Amino acid sequence: MSRRSWVRAARASLIGVSAVLIAQAAAPPTDLAVQSVSSYQKQQALMFDDFNGPAWTPPNPQWWSYDTGGGGWGNGESQTYTSATSNVRLDGAGHLVIEARNDGGEYTSARVTTQGRTSLLYGRAEARAKLPRGAGMHPAFWLLGTDLGVVGWPDSGEIDVVETISGAGQLYSSVIGPRTTGGDWQAGPTTDVANTFVDDFHTYWVEKAPGRVTFGVDGQITGAVTAAGLPPDERWVFDKPFFLLLNVAVGGEWPGPPDSSTPFPAAMVVDWVRVTGD
């Protein structure tokens, strides 16, 4: 994930909060509701994980592997990702726990991915989750193009279904793609919420269709980005398979560092993940 530079363009009242649609590519929510529901009902399950299993065991390797290591992850982040059950595990009550820890100033966390296991071309990816908040916290549910290892980022494309930082007063969703002149472009909705919104389970989802990426929370659409709305120098790279990622980052250029008020351990708790498609 790269550092975000959010440009606010327009506001619309959605899910009892205000959603900010970014850039020229944002499409009107009222236009999307019927299309989204209609296409979703025709899709079939490609993946469903409800994280049932004994406490302190890893998630199902049929679906999940791990990105591990430190080095800042391109954003100046402070954590080292591990596959240890202290950082990623089932809780025995039907949840996946991704836990960021502070062990004497050494931060560890986890990042799980479906890379090489399952992917989404067209359809919907969704996760029902609680998200951690506090200074320096940066949880995310997102997708990357399966050709990442061949073309690199941002040519792979990135779809951020939901990200929050620090106090979690906003839900960030976006697509990120390459420019023909080099570098990257970003567009998508930002949704203002009460800080306590993320303390409860909510379903965060993205739906991919040819030339369109639509974002939503629970039963409401928060915005969309379309290929038709892009300027000539912004390439559309989203009509291909993408794999899923879940992680909790600590610190970095965007949220800033944790401080003495940051609650550790801090956990993303995921009830289920589902991928449906044609």
* Residue 112, beta-bridge partner list: 66, 246
Out of 158, 207, 234, 253, the active site residue is: 158
Residue whose C-alpha is closest to residue 83's, from 119, 57, 62 = 57
Contacts for 32 with CB less than 8 Å, ≥ 6 apart: 214, 221, 224
- From 99, 126, 163, 207, active-site residue: 163
Place of tokens 């931060």: 107
Instruction: Name the 3-class secondary structure at 115.
Output: coil
As a whole number of angstroms, the distance between CA 84 and CA 241 comes to 29
| Per-position DSSP letters for 64-89, written without gaps between them | -EEE-B-TTTTTT---EE---TTTEE
CA angle, residues 28, 226, 275, in degrees to nearest 5: 95
Identify the residue whose tokens are 């993205």: 206
State how far the Cα of 202 lies from the Cα of 127, in Å rounded to an integer. 8
Annotated catalytic, 158? Answer: yes
Alpha carbon of residue 276 to chain centroid = 17
What's the CA gap between 270 and 59, in Å, rounded? 11
Tokens of 1: 């994930």
| 131, 132, 137, 142: CA torsion to nearest 10 | -20
Which residues belong to the active site? 158, 163
